[in-house]
Amino acid sequence: MALGLAVPLAAQLACGPLLILINPAVPLYGVVANLLAAPAAPVATVLGLAACVAAPIPVLAAGLATLTWLPAAWISATALTAADLPVAAVPWPEGLMGAASLTAVSAAVLVLALPPRPGRRARIVRRIAAAGLATVLGVGMGTTALRTVAGPLTLPGDWSIAACDVGQGDGLLVRSAGAVALIDTGPDPEPLRACLDRFAIRRIDLLVLTHYDMDHIGGVAAVVGRVGRALHGPPGSAGDRRTLDTLDAGGAEMIDASAGMSGRLGAATWTVLWPRAGDRAFPSGNEASVTLDIRGGGVPAAVFLGDLDAVAQRALLAGGALRPPYAVVKVAHHGSADQSAELYRALGAAVALISVGADNDYGHPRASTLAFLRADGCLIARTDQDGVVTVTSVDGGVRVWRERAPPAAAGVWAGRVGTAG
């Protein structure tokens, strides 16, 4: 057993710091997976080499290649199974700092794995190695648990709408009867992946890509292969189409959104309010952002405005598709100044969600936007200050929970005629 473990353990300790430079994560089952794959490796190597050498004789080469498939398939199956296990990898700091810290951890493991040597200095070295390794394991296991099995315990269990803290971008979740919708993916896969892990979401029943700015589609890699249906706005470039092709190749059913479409999310109903099909005035971009009305099935009446500008907002209001009053509005374009105060007044929303990055270069959300939202009686929740925000439907109103807000700031909000408490 010791001899069998020695090779994969040595490989893990030696190669781990270098692999951190490629992928900042430590595979938790790497040693066991390599131990299981090890018997097949020499067989696959020898037979594969023989198939290459026999290439001038096609029949022989094909036969050897077929035999090579058996050990190669075992290695592949072992790797895929290990990667699919819960908590398959522990997040690790990236770059040279991450490589250096993992080198120190590998050295501590090596010190503890070797037989103890006599002498006071050797005992001190072993104690330092044990203390350092215990600290790293404690922090690593705690961080991993928070992002996996323990993550949902840090959140309200009855949430129906959630704004992920993905930086300067949008990433919003809606849940009804166990089905989940994700509206935009933020600018980067990692923050979105962390949010989905924390909410214990493995499958996205409905993905909505409102438009194709990077702060709305940059994190799409985090959900490729996990999407049932993808509702998307009109693509304006070849790059936009490539994003859609990636989702399509991952098995998502692609739906070109236009006003009037509707469908089910669990027990809730979603309706596309914007853009209008074939609208030449707003062909793509912010002005053609997919705007969604979701309500019912435990989801309070909510409208998600994407990045609509003031002109498109006024056109949406004039079109008569809105069904106010709303309990929740996702404020357009991260609270920029390009808003129609008239639209928000007509929505009559109790809660205004602003998905925005801390210390962003755009000055979002703008003071003018915050001013008219407050004047309309909205409770404002913003991810740059509050972190993750969730909304839960309760009798007579909604309950808002904010990750970084003081306890007194959370409570039930019943709208303009009610109070928070």
pLDDT digits (tens, 9 = 90+) for 211-263: 999 999 999 999 999 999 999 999 989 999 999 999 999 999 999 999 999 99
150 pLDDT band, cuts 50/70/90, is: low
pLDDT number for residue 102 = 82
Tell me the average pLDDT across 345-351: 96
User: Cβ of 103: how many Cβ atoms within 10 Å?
Assistant: 16
CATH of the domain at 265: 3.60.15.10
99 and 248 part of one domain: no
Q: Which residue is it, tokens 């390009």?
A: 338
Check whether 143 has a pLDDT greater than 80. no
146 pLDDT band, cuts 50/70/90, is: low
Q: Which position has the higher pLDDT, 251 or 107?
A: 251
pLDDT digits (tens, 9 = 90+) for 52-82: 999 999 999 999 999 999 999 999 999 889 8
Helix and strand element counts for the chain (H, E): 13, 18
Q: Which position has the higher pLDDT, 83 or 316?
A: 316
258 and 394 part of one domain: yes
174 and 117 part of one domain: no
pLDDT number for residue 415 = 47
Q: Does residue 300 have a cis bond before it (omega within 30 degrees)?
A: no
pLDDT number for residue 25 = 79
**Kind and range of the H or E run holding 51:** helix 40-53
Given a contact cutoff of 8 angstroms between Cβ atoms, the answer to whether 185 and 216 are in contact is: yes
Q: Give me the number of domains the chain comprises.
A: 2
133 and 169 part of one domain: no
Task: Render 287-345 in DSSP notation, one character per residue.
Answer: GG--EEEEEETTEEEEEE-TT--HHHHHHHHHHT------SEEE-GGGG-S---HHHHH
Q: Of 105, 130, 147, which closes a domain?
A: 147
**Residue 421 is assigned to a structural domain of this protein:** no
What is the CA angle 17-20-21, rounded to 5?
105
Q: Which position has the higher pLDDT, 408 or 113?
A: 113
130 and 185 part of one domain: no
Residue 313's identity, in one-letter code, is Q
27 and 120 part of one domain: yes
CB burial of 138-158 (b: ≥16 within 10 Å; e: otherwise) equals: eebeeebeebeeebeeebeee
Q: Of 113, 147, 181, which closes a domain?
A: 147
- Give me Rg for the CA atoms of the chain: 26
Widest CA span of the chain, in angstroms? Answer: 85
7 and 97 part of one domain: yes
189 and 282 part of one domain: yes
**3-class state of residue 416 by DSSP:** coil
pLDDT number for residue 136 = 74
186 and 320 part of one domain: yes
pTM for the whole structure: 0.71
Check whether 12 has a pLDDT greater than 90. no
106 and 63 part of one domain: yes
**Residue 391 is assigned to a structural domain of this protein:** yes
3 pLDDT band, cuts 50/70/90, is: confident
> Around 15, how many Cα atoms within 13 Å sit in the side-chain half-sphere?
13
Check whether 305 has a pLDDT greater than 60. yes
**Residue 317 is assigned to a structural domain of this protein:** yes
Q: Of 147, 181, 197, which closes a domain?
A: 147
pLDDT digits (tens, 9 = 90+) for 180-221: 999 999 999 999 999 998 998 999 999 999 999 999 999 999
pLDDT number for residue 7 = 82
187 and 267 part of one domain: yes
Here the tokens at position 164 are 């992920």
Phi, psi of 132 (to 5 degrees): -65, -40
Percent of the chain beyond pLDDT 90? 64
Check whether 406 has a pLDDT greater than 70. no
202 and 137 part of one domain: no
**Residue 419 is assigned to a structural domain of this protein:** no
Task: Render 166-235 in DSSP notation, one character per residue.
Answer: -SSS--EEEEETTEEEEE---S-HHHHHHHHHHTT---EEEEEE----HHHHTTGGGTTTSEEEEEE---
Check whether 414 has a pLDDT greater than 80. no
Check whether 27 has a pLDDT greater than 90. no
- Averaged pLDDT of the chain: 89
Give the domain extent around 100.
2-147
Cα–Cα distance list, 410 to 161, 175, 231, 348, 401 (Å) = 15, 20, 32, 20, 5
Given a contact cutoff of 8 angstroms between Cβ atoms, the answer to whether 91 and 142 are in contact is: no
